Amino acid sequence: MKKFVGTSLVSVLLTLSFASSVALANESDRFLVEVLNKENEPIIESVHKDEVEELTDAKVLQPDYIRKIALQAGTWQAKSWGPAHIGADKLIERTRELEGIVIVAVIDTGVDTNHPFLRDRLVAGYDVLDKDSDPMDEHFHGTHMAGIIADTTPANVKIMPVRAVDKEGRGYDNHIAEGIRYAVDHGADIINMSFVGEEYSTYLADAIGYALEHNVVVVVASGNESIDTSPLYPAGEQKVIVVGASDRNDRIADFSNTGASIDIAAPGVDILSSVPGGSFKSYSGTSTATPFVSAVAAMLKLEDPTRTVLDIDRLLKKYTIDRGAAGWDPQFGEGILNLSTYDEKVTREILSPPMNVSSDTKSFPSQEGVPLNKSWRVTFDRALTQGDKVDIRINRSGKDVPIVTETKANEIIVTPIRKFFPHSNYQLLLFVENGGQYEMKFRTGE
């Protein structure tokens, strides 16, 4: 899970129960409303603000916020430098001959499906804006993102173009959420979203949650405004992989956003990739850093299709070069993505680390009949700060099970990605730096 920066926890109170910066203006001209269809069933539609008053029976849910691509001009490069810089060659060779495919959905402005560099790497996609199966890129951004993925992976990693952002580089939450659900329902393993916007969106968060619930890795750009990610979305989302941009010298790009949500950094300055019309061009931005991470996530999934969202997250963060402050920091996250030391044996150890439960571990009363979708609320005796280091795991038969954690002021909510097995024994483990170790055993019911 993400680390917090400040003082370490000295004491902790644990309770277990069911879980139930200044924002920037996001000027949207549309609202999401709940209306009844012909079958008298509630559905959600996007309506222009001038039409809202005419809908007498509609329930206004939230503005249909706008997200924008996270890209800026770069200096011309004669050749691609990113894949070699992150040591991708070793993993490309390992996965090139493996059976099956992994699909990366690029939710963006579409892709030039006729581009010679891309046309053999694509699977069927969708145009959310025009409601058809021709997601042709009318901008260039999506084609550039797809090219980075193709350049960093073997041919058995395929790209699903989903056009949800218009030719001006603007995408409404309504369209983006539809694109996410389309990608999940049509076999995507990874979702790349190289855009950012202001304001938290429940509607978009629900779509991201839908992807995570279906074990689809979601990778997003941190943004290019040199600001904190906390008022941004999805860049401020703790549940996804948030990517910052670095340069050839492994320095954080001066435009790259920073903050508590940052997970990892990747090359994002002067990145050469495909653009519509069969040509290539260099651009910079956290937009271009994000597909490097999506590409590596795809190869990790290709190597072992059983890997979960949590497995991929752990491996990405393990294979990094630490830059900035030691350990996690709000600029680089865990560090700059680098696979030069990738080793299959080490990878197995990362995914099945020893529990190292010491003899002085404090135990809480065991629980029986726990629901299969149970969330645990871990409450601390004070508000968490950004330097507190906390590791929470749920273990079954000696192996970690995939979980999602949500951090609030003084608590962490722990939820299984998939339902627990019925009538099974589990162990919740809590490790707090300078604060001790705790465990709680529980058994599920029906």
CA distance 358 to 57: 60
Burial class (CB in 10 A: 0-12, 13-18, 19+), 65: buried
Coil, helix or strand at residue 437: strand
CA distance 94 to 97: 7
User: DSSP assignment, residue 119?
Assistant: T
Query: Distances from the Cα of 248 to the Cαs of 39, 151, 189, 315, 318, in angstroms?
Result: 57, 17, 29, 23, 21
> How many other β-carbons are positioned within 10 Å of the β-carbon of residue 279?
12
Residue 48 among the catalytic residues: no
Residue among 92, 143, 88 nearest 118 (CA)? 143
**Which residues, in sequence order, are CB contacts of 158 under 8 Å at separation 6+?**
101, 102, 103, 104, 121, 122, 123
Catalytic residue among 108, 112, 228, 311: 108
CA distance 396 to 444: 11
Residue 287 among the catalytic residues: yes
CA distance 172 to 257: 22
Burial class (CB in 10 A: 0-12, 13-18, 19+), 303: middle
Coil, helix or strand at residue 321: strand
DSSP E strands in 226-318: the ranges are 232-233, 241-246, 264-267, 271-275, 279-284
**Which residues, in sequence order, are CB contacts of 85 under 8 Å at separation 6+?**
248, 267
The DSSP H or E segment spanning 144 is helix 141-151
Catalytic residue among 85, 115, 139, 141: 141
How is the beta sheet containing 436-444 ordered, strand by strand?
362-370, 436-444, 425-432, 390-396, 399-400
**Counts of helices then strands in the chain (DSSP H, E):** 8, 27
Catalytic residue among 28, 287, 311, 388: 287
Indicate which residues carry an active-site annotation.
Answer: 108, 141, 287
